[in-house]
Amino acid sequence: MSDTSEPSPSKSQDLKARFKQMTQPLVDSLDSRLSAQVDKRVDQRVDETLKDRLSFIERAVADLDRAVHDLQDRLKE
Dump pLDDT digits (tens) for 25-77: 999 999 999 999 999 999 999 999 999 999 999 999 999 999 999 999 998 88
* 50 domain residue, yes or no: yes
Prediction pTM value: 0.51
* 38 domain residue, yes or no: yes
**How many domains does the chain divide into?**
1
Distance separating alpha carbons of residues 62 and 55, to the nearest angstrom: 10
* 73 domain residue, yes or no: yes
Q: pLDDT at position 28, please?
A: 94
* 1 domain residue, yes or no: no
Q: pLDDT at position 24, please?
A: 94
Helices (H), 1-77: 9-76
Distance separating alpha carbons of residues 39 and 26, to the nearest angstrom: 20
* 36 domain residue, yes or no: yes
Q: pLDDT at position 11, please?
A: 86
* 74 domain residue, yes or no: yes
* 3 domain residue, yes or no: no
